[in-house]
Amino acid sequence: MDQAVPQFNITNMKCQRTAGTTVVLVHLVALVCFAAATPVSADGEGDSGNRESISTADHSTFDTLQRDFESGPDVTRACLTCHTEAGHQVRQSIHWTWDYRHPDTGQQLGKRHVLNSFCTNLRTNQPRCTSCHTGYGWNDASFDFSDDSRVDCLVCHDTTGTYDKAPRQAGRVLKNETTIHGDSLTPPDLGAVARNIGQPDIATCGSCHFNGGGGDGSKHGDLDSSLIDAPYSLDVHMSPQGGDMTCQDCHVSTGHQLAGGRYDMTARDREGTGKPGKRRRAATCESCHGVDVHDDGSYVARTLNQHNDRVACQTCHIPEIARGGVQTKIWWDWSKAGRLAEDGSSIHEKNASGRTSYWTRWGEIEWREDYVPSYAWFDGNVRYTRPTDEIDPESVVPINRLTGSADNPDARVWPFKVMRGKQPYDSARKRLVLMHLFGKDDTAYWKNLDWAPAIQAAMDEKGLPFSGEIGFVETRMYWPITHMVAPAEQAVSCEACHSRDSRLVGLTDFYMPGRDAPAWLDRIGALALLATLLGVLGHAALRIFFHYRRARQ
């Protein structure tokens, strides 16, 4: 089986930076390697990593670090001798807990709990999924979340680009040299990495956040490797020709807690920049730009400022998504998975851009780039459909529901990537199911290509009932769009929305000029104009006719 079906590797974090060049090997997800076999490289001139360090400490001079380290936790223990609170801080963050209780809806969210429409669930797939956990060794439920030494400091703070982690071992540091789809991985010199730590750059965060959902750009639509050394037209903030900003310039970190996140968003920020020195923990556009940002004094600028109570900045300033040349998944049909070639080997097909369009383990995938996002009213709250919630299999099941409407003052029109697909559900109990994909055991789907034991194992592990009857239901999931902000002159034009073929054609609960006039009004109006015109023309013709007849007489 392993010979026939290429290994599925979620992460193999590897960022290499040389003096002027950042090379990110975008095979963090093995599937990426299938999809886009060539590593993406980008020149890092002006990249944030080349900034002169403003740190008051040079870690390469620290006595504690002048030695070799046996393991990741060994390094962490050294870090903690000075950074005494860092372990505790990280352990409070969602990067560690993967657990988030929504303050308004009360839903228990975070990767640990939610079910999505990609590989659907963490449970029973840990060693693969948790290779992106900011810790060492989250293999299963027995992982000790209270152990400071389990925190992986280096995965965020490495600046050497040599910190290779084992792709399928729950975030453990690579012990033996290995090759992943043509790219060799070398066990890092942990001492050298530890002596050269610094702040994360875009590639660092991107090593996980660009690659979720099965490959570069797969999941979000506004986060992929093209943001590393992005051209100005792609992202004015992150581009070295633009703001040259790093992720944490917006996702401001306070004691390892980062601002922002999509479980509970600030869809409408009324506060703006706040008083000087205040308002550090905010990732909204307004927290830097203020609430009345269009300031050339024109009527249009004033009107645009007036729009910001109803329209998110992102809606106009991110005209299209997946603009950097990296495609994003828009359709994942698990019901098509499991098909084998005549000789019993797995089938692997690619689209014109080299992305996986069919794989025996995955089913059918569609990708898209450079396209107009979907729009919806959004007040920041998202409700997830949990495996305990009843679904209606006759309709498209919303994996997550946005709340918001035109008459909700906290809601604004936001852009979203809509991820669609088909995934298994319990057709007797009408519930979405978890699935056990990864592993070498005799229930893992990717090893055995048999849904019933794979679902049973995952449901058992989570303690959920499963009838054994499997169907596939169409699902839809919303991914808020906020990155890839284009230069102002590329912002969406007024008539893109204020027209008959409006971008907001799906939002019908309010009146919009240019889009919504009643059809009868235009019919009557046109008729009245036509009648008047014909009337005066007829009158004029008669006048001319009688004038010449009189002249002849």
Closer Cβ to another protein, 465 or 513, answer by number: 513
Nearer to another protein, 4 or 524 (CB): 524
Quick note: the x/- pattern for another protein over 497-526, rule CB under 8 A, is: -xxx---------xx-xxxxxx--x--xx-
Taking the least distance from each CB to another protein, the nearer of 82 and 534 is 534
Q: Is 538 in the site for another protein (CB under 8 A)?
A: no
Share of the chain residues as helix, strand and coil, in percent rounded to the nearest 5: 25, 20, 55
**DSSP code of 378?**
E
CA distance 463 to 141: 13
**Part in contact with another protein (CB under 8 A); list of ranges 222-230, 295-303, 370-378, 430-438:** 295-303
82 or 529, CB closer to another protein?
A: 529
295 binds another protein (CB under 8 A): no
Minimum distance from residue 544 beta carbon to another protein (Å): 10
- What are the residues facing 179 on neighbouring strands? 184
Q: What residues does 135 pair with on adjacent strands?
A: 151
**Binding region for another protein (CB under 8 A) out of 311-319, 359-367, 453-461, 537-545:** 537-545
Kindly tell me which residue out of 82, 300, 396, 488 binds another protein, with binding defined by CB under 8 A. Answer: 300
Task: Give min distance, CB of 221 to another protein, in A.
Answer: 27
Token pair of 403 as six digits: 């709340």
Q: Which stretch binds another protein (CB under 8 A): 97-105, 113-121, 204-212, 299-307?
A: 299-307
Q: Are 59 and 196 in contact (CB under 8 A)?
A: yes
Examine residue 548 and tell whether it contacts another protein (CB under 8 A). Answer: no
Nearer to another protein among residue 81 and residue 303 (C-beta): 303
Alpha-carbon span 145 to 44, nearest angstrom: 36
Query: Contacts with another protein in 308-347 (CB under 8 A)?
Result: 309
Work out how close the CB of 314 gets to another protein at its nearest, in angstroms, rounded to a whole number. 19
Cβ-based nearer residue to another protein, 428 or 529: 529
Among 1, 177, 540, 548, binds another protein (CB under 8 A): 540
Q: Which of 306, 345, 395, 467 binds another protein (CB under 8 A)?
A: 306
- With respect to another protein, which residue has the nearer C-beta, 288 or 293? 293
Q: Does 543 bind another protein (CB under 8 A)?
A: yes
Q: Cα 9 vs. chain centroid, distance in angstroms?
A: 19
Candidates 36, 34, 35, 116; CA nearest to 420 is 116
- The two three-digit tokens of residue 11, written as one number: 């992460």
- Considering only 2, 63, 299, 352, the residue that binds another protein (CB under 8 A) is 299
Closer residue to another protein (CB): 20 or 535 = 535
- 3-state SS class at 438: coil
Q: Any bridge partners for residue 402, and if so which?
A: 382
**Which residue among 493, 505, 508, 548 contacts another protein (CB under 8 A)?**
493
First to last CA, the chain: 106
Would you mind telling me the total number of residues written for the chain in this entry? 553
298 sits near another protein (criterion: CB under 8 A): yes
- With respect to another protein, which residue has the nearer C-beta, 342 or 501? 501
Q: What is the DSSP letter of 522?
A: H
The burial class, CB within 10 Å (0-12 / 13-18 / 19+), for 93 is: middle
Closest CB 494 distance from another protein, rounded Å:
4
**Nearer to another protein (CB atom), residue 18 or residue 306:** 306
Q: Which is nearer to another protein, 101 or 543 (CB)?
A: 543
- Among residues 18, 303, 388, 395, which is the contact residue for another protein, using CB under 8 A? 303
Instruction: Look up residue 201 and give its two tokens.
Output: 């750059």
Taking the least distance from each CB to another protein, the nearer of 292 and 474 is: 292
**Strand, coil or helix: 473:** strand
Q: Provide, rounded to whole angstroms, the least separation between the CB of residue 526 and another protein.
A: 8
- Consecutive H or E run containing 539: helix 519-552
CB-based contact 413:376 (threshold 8 Å): yes
For residue 524, give both structure tokens.
């009557």
Pairwise CA distance, residues 213 & 189, whole Å:
30
Look at the alpha carbons of 496, 325, 28, 92 in this order and tell me if their dihedral is positive or negative.
negative
CA distance 141 to 126: 9
Residue 166 sits at the vertex; the CA angle it makes with 156 and 27, to the nearest 5 degrees, is 80
Options 83, 181, 302, 401; binder of another protein; rule CB under 8 A: 302
- In angstroms, the CA 432 to CA 470 distance is 10
Of 82 and 527, CB closest to another protein: 527
- CA 365 to CA 358: how far, in whole Å? 6
Residue ranges in 406-465 that form contacts with another protein under rule CB under 8 A? none
Contact between residue 11 and residue 29 where contact means Cβ atoms under 8 Å apart: yes
Contacting range for another protein; rule: CB under 8 A; set: 129-137, 227-235, 252-260, 491-499: 491-499
Number of residues forming the site for another protein (CB under 8 A): 37
DSSP reduced 3-state for 108: strand
Applying CB under 8 A, the residues found at the interface with another protein are 298-300, 302-303, 306, 309, 493-495, 498-500, 510-511, 513-518, 521, 524-525, 528-529, 532-533, 535-536, 539-540, 542-543, 546-547, 550
